[in-house]
Structure 1
Amino acid sequence: MFNVPKAVAASLLLLHGARADICSTLPISAPDIEIVKPFTAKWSGEQLEYWSTGCGKLHPSCILYPKNAQEVAAIVEALGETNETFAIKSGGHNPNLYFASIDGGPLISTGSLNQVELDTATETAKLGPGNRWDEVANKLDGSGYSIVGGRLGNVGVGGYMLGGGLSFMSTEYGWAANSVESFELVLANATIINVTRDSHPSLFKSLKGGGNAYGIVTSFTVKAYKQGTVWGGNYFFNATPATDAALLEAVADFAMHYPDPKAGIILTAERTGLGAVDFWTMFLYYNGEQPPAGVFDRFKAIKPWSDTTKTRTYAELVGFNNWAVLKGSVYTIGTETIPMPSLGAANSSTVAASTLQDVHRNWRDVGTPALLKVGGLIASTAYQPVPR
């Protein structure tokens, strides 16, 4: 959520004061920009697209849908005049209140900035921030190319790219932001610029993980990588002390030694207070028709009670993973980054596994009182190895 007075960076937050109402004035100054008023069908639908229930409960005074960089610039210029607090929303996956949501101010939705244009000659693609990753994958399906992107298709492109972007492909190609060749950016003074490593080296670097603090990105030009079929899906395990220990040991080993750069995993645990739900879900990915022996063997040996892995297109896998997106049910989230011990250090594997087991035990212990107190509450935690 931002204020944009003239000549002030787009990330600054200022106190509310007397101000004009852009929801009323913009139709006069920029009549081609779509403006959606509160409690209409489209307004309500947009609010339901947040990953976090808390964000969706905030009420923007209107929602603006620019279709190109010029319309974004017109909005920014108008906001500079009215000095209104506003927010920008791509997929709405950010769970923090007021980051991509707002109460009582205008919301800029990038939903109409949804182009996907593949250039096979340069092996790049131009992506609008309003896409979700399943939409990108579907539009590229059959082209023989894919983009380093989200592991669940429902995640939006804009916030993901500007936050760095951990991908199943990250061990092969790096963070998603590493694949960006240029950004089309609207600055706080409504100027439209093309940011490359040569034209604006410091800004180019800052946009790769720096979030939306430097302006509004209206398109990303990214590297496209040749892609055939992939293998992936889920393993499901019942939670028991022995299974918990075995899975966390396997995850620690996977994170420390990363057996194959084409492989990726996410391990999640879910539980309720009375034990009606208490199981593990594992997301698996391999960039190839079948993973070679040794890549996922430790997990398979723990004997999942259900296995949905198979060979499929990348678009099919990203879309399939959307079963885990439960909109309207998530309220709050927190994250921790835990460095693994240095390779070669004494007892490094034992220390790594023990650390994860302590974290998991604490999650269960701390969560139990809340789970018993709040009916219908489900606690979930995820372990996501980050390649060295």
Structure 2
Amino acid sequence: MASQIFTSYTIAVFVVLTSILLLRRRQASNGEQPATKPHPLASLPPEKLPNYIQTLLAELPGSVILQTDVAAFQQAVDSSWAQQNREIVPACIVRPCDAKQLGKAVKILKLEYDSRSHGESPVVGFFAVRSGGVNPGLGASMVQDGVVIDLSLLCEVTPAVDGSTVTVGTGAKWIDVYKTLDEKGLVVMGGRSSPVGVGGLTLQGGISFYSPRYGFVCSNAESYEVVLADGSVVTASASVHPELWRVLKGGSNNFGIVTRFTLRSLPSAPLWVGVRFAPAAFQQAKALKVYHDYLEHAGSNQPGGFDENAAGPIMSFVYIGRIGIQLIALHLVYTKVQEDETKVPVHWRETGFNSLWSFYRYSNVQSHTSVVERLGRTAPAGTRHVQGTTTIRNDVQTMTAAYAIFCETTTKLRQVKGLMFPFTFQAILPGWMNKGHPNVLGLEGCTEPLIIVSCSVTWTDPKDDEFVRSTIRSSLEQIEAAAVARKSDHPYRFMNYSMEWQRPYDGCGEENLKLMGETSQKYDPDGLFQRGCAGGFKLP
């Protein structure tokens, strides 16, 4: 009888979870969010706008969107994924149609930057660059009263004749890339969730389902088309501008604006996917131990340890504020389908993950595109969102301490309206972290498994913004302190999950920082992208 009651309870929990996700998606699609606030320039005729904006209008007719064009401006602002970034209102949005037009815009912005540099006050970022616009960091790709360069029209997807590479526009969404390549029987290493854009993920690192086979996404870029600070357009590859090619693999937007990536491609094939939901109440310690033991084995040289077809397991503890419960969500992927598609791949079947009791599980074989679409459904656009990350070594006591801090954080946030709080562990294994072309992420000498620990919080009421953000920041700092105390900390920070207050370049290593600094000085000697460009992470 007790087991029947428990089973009914857990099924009800899953139904509630599904209902909440559907409700959140419906609210987002219905536009139940604050409208963009009025802008002081909205009532100004073009001739009253700042000179550099008037120049942009004259030189780029049809490509500059002003606040006075209410519908187009609102649509462009709402291309940002997080609601709090939709509430940052620029003076105008420039939407270039190709690299040449973008070069004209950069030249105009450089002239404005030079004029401001001769003033008494230091230059503050007055333009931002947006490709996908998914990072929820405040001002990650938006700037108040400045210029947003929107790269969404640069979205081509062009496979090479031999299928070995694909040229992808920086403004494309990964899901659209995959759908286009499906028709060609190809796939590229790229994002794992449908809202994510190409530019930010590829320039900051990026993890793919295929990373165990090929490494970080950034390490699979064969070449880049880049607009430099003087407005010129160059190609960077291993043989042309090789230092620029190297630093763009993790160096973000510090050296220019990338308009196109040429990425390594491979024949597409279906993926095996396994998903489990479990109650956290009585088996969180076991789940942590299972995850630790898996990484210890997969990070070793033992037979059957590392498997390049096994994507890194994603394990989340999800606190649902509306019903005050915590669940474990486990996501497993295997990129080589077995002969019997109905069976769990041997690699996953022989791990401790199978011993975790779950009230809901499914596994099947899907296309790469379908997997990415499914993962993206739990992340509706237009929500208030904050994330943050740190990195620890594979130490079970540190993992336990991090989980305890997560639980304390949920207690602090329990009154926050509409709270959804996934606390996630993801792995970087020594078997793949340095595959592909050399990058500047700083993991060259690492020989042990690392765990990316990330917080990802959504809520509904803007009055909770500062409280949620400061609480998450404090919690991550506590986790870092706990790791330092156990000597299980690591300086690497996964930039794709980092927030504006974090310093991911501190973990890149002295040699990589030196190379990035020298390359920035060579290609952007006046510091346009260091000081004039808002958003992104700047070199120390």
Q: Could you say whether these structures have the same fold, taking a TM-score greater than 0.5 normalized by the shorter chain as the test?
A: yes
For 1:255, the aligned partner's letter is L
The count of aligned residue pairs is: 357
- Is 1:243 matched up with 2:290? no
- Is 1:261 matched up with 2:303? no
The CA distance in 2 between the partners of 1:41 and 1:248, in whole Å, is: 49
Q: Is the 8 A contact 2:310 2:347 kept in 1?
A: no
3-state SS of the aligned residue for 2:428?
A: coil
Q: Which of 171, 176, 187 is the aligned partner of 2:217?
A: 176
3-state SS of the aligned residue for 1:111?
A: coil
Q: Is the 8 A contact 1:48 1:327 kept in 2?
A: no
C-alpha deviation, 1:170, in angstroms: 0.8
Moved more, 195-204 or 28-37: 28-37
The CA distance in 2 between the partners of 1:209 and 1:364, in whole Å, is: 32
Q: Which of 284, 287, 290 is the aligned partner of 2:335?
A: 287
- CA 1:32–1:329: 2 relative to 1, 3 Å: closer
- The aligned residue for residue 77 of structure 1 is 107
- CA 1:210–1:358: 2 relative to 1, 3 Å: same
The CA distance in 1 between the partners of 2:74 and 2:325, in whole Å, is: 31
The CA distance in 2 between the partners of 1:321 and 1:276, in whole Å, is: 23
1:159-186 deviation digits (Å, cap 9, x = unpaired): 0000011112111100001110100000
- The aligned residue for residue 201 of structure 1 is 242
C-alpha deviation, 1:370, in angstroms: 2.3
- CA 1:130–1:371: 2 relative to 1, 3 Å: same
Structure 2 unaligned spans of 5+? 1-48, 114-124, 299-304, 339-343, 431-540
The CA distance in 1 between the partners of 2:75 and 2:334, in whole Å, is: 35
Root-mean-square deviation over aligned CA pairs: 2.1
- The aligned residue for residue 53 of structure 1 is 83
C-alpha deviation, 1:253, in angstroms: 2.3
- Is 1:44 matched up with 2:74? yes
Q: Which of 396, 399, 402 is the aligned partner of 1:353?
A: 396
For 1:305, the aligned partner's letter is F
1:180-219 deviation digits (Å, cap 9, x = unpaired): 0100000001010000111112111110000011000000
Q: Is the 8 A contact 2:322 2:418 kept in 1?
A: no
3-state SS of the aligned residue for 1:210?
A: coil
C-alpha deviation, 1:32, in angstroms: 4.6
1:104-151 deviation digits (Å, cap 9, x = unpaired): 111111110000001141500000011111111101014222111111
- The aligned residue for residue 262 of structure 2 is 221
- The aligned residue for residue 304 of structure 1 is 358
3-state SS of the aligned residue for 1:333?
A: strand
- The aligned residue for residue 230 of structure 1 is 271
The CA distance in 2 between the partners of 1:193 and 1:121, in whole Å, is: 24
Q: How does 1:4-43 map to 2 (within 5 A)?
A: 20-37=50-67, 40-43=70-73
The CA distance in 2 between the partners of 1:60 and 1:167, in whole Å, is: 33
C-alpha deviation, 1:98, in angstroms: 2.1
Q: Is the 8 A contact 1:128 1:157 kept in 2?
A: yes
C-alpha deviation, 1:40, in angstroms: 2.4
- The aligned residue for residue 252 of structure 1 is 292
- The aligned residue for residue 382 of structure 1 is 424
The CA distance in 2 between the partners of 1:332 and 1:21, in whole Å, is: 36
C-alpha deviation, 1:275, in angstroms: 4.7
- CA 1:369–1:216: 2 relative to 1, 3 Å: same
User: Could you say which structure has the higher helix fraction?
Assistant: 2
C-alpha deviation, 1:38, in angstroms: 5.9
- CA 1:325–1:273: 2 relative to 1, 3 Å: closer
- CA 1:124–1:273: 2 relative to 1, 3 Å: closer
- CA 1:275–1:244: 2 relative to 1, 3 Å: farther
Q: Is the 8 A contact 1:51 1:330 kept in 2?
A: no
3-state SS of the aligned residue for 1:332?
A: strand
3-state SS of the aligned residue for 2:235?
A: strand
Q: How does 1:126-145 map to 2 (within 5 A)?
A: 126-145=167-186
- CA 1:28–1:57: 2 relative to 1, 3 Å: same
3-state SS of the aligned residue for 1:376?
A: coil
Moved more, 230-239 or 62-71: 230-239
3-state SS of the aligned residue for 2:159?
A: strand
Q: Is the 8 A contact 1:38 1:44 kept in 2?
A: no
Report percent identity of matched pairs: 27
The CA distance in 2 between the partners of 1:274 and 1:60, in whole Å, is: 35
Find the structure with the greater CA-based Rg.
Answer: 2
The CA distance in 2 between the partners of 1:138 and 1:34, in whole Å, is: 30
For 1:303, the aligned partner's letter is W
- The aligned residue for residue 320 of structure 1 is 374
Q: Which of 319, 322, 329 is the aligned partner of 1:271?
A: 319
- The aligned residue for residue 211 of structure 1 is 252
The CA distance in 1 between the partners of 2:321 and 2:60, in whole Å, is: 53
- CA 1:174–1:329: 2 relative to 1, 3 Å: same
1:358-387 deviation digits (Å, cap 9, x = unpaired): 111111113312223x23223221111112
Q: Is the 8 A contact 1:38 1:60 kept in 2?
A: no
Q: Is the 8 A contact 1:23 1:35 kept in 2?
A: no
Q: How does 1:329-368 map to 2 (within 5 A)?
A: 329-340=383-394, 352-368=395-411
Moved more, 73-82 or 267-276: 267-276
- CA 1:276–1:223: 2 relative to 1, 3 Å: same
TM-score w.r.t. structure 2 length?
A: 0.63
For 2:424, the aligned partner's letter is A
For 1:203, the aligned partner's letter is L
For 1:306, the aligned partner's letter is Y
- CA 1:255–1:327: 2 relative to 1, 3 Å: farther
For 1:42, the aligned partner's letter is A
TM-score w.r.t. structure 1 length?
A: 0.86
Q: Is the 8 A contact 1:254 1:385 kept in 2?
A: no
3-state SS of the aligned residue for 2:251?
A: coil
- The aligned residue for residue 15 of structure 1 is none
The CA distance in 1 between the partners of 2:414 and 2:390, in whole Å, is: 21
Q: Is the 8 A contact 1:20 1:82 kept in 2?
A: no
Q: Is the 8 A contact 1:53 1:331 kept in 2?
A: yes
For 2:156, the aligned partner's letter is Q
For 1:74, the aligned partner's letter is K
For 1:292, the aligned partner's letter is P
Structure 1 unaligned spans of 5+? 1-18, 341-351
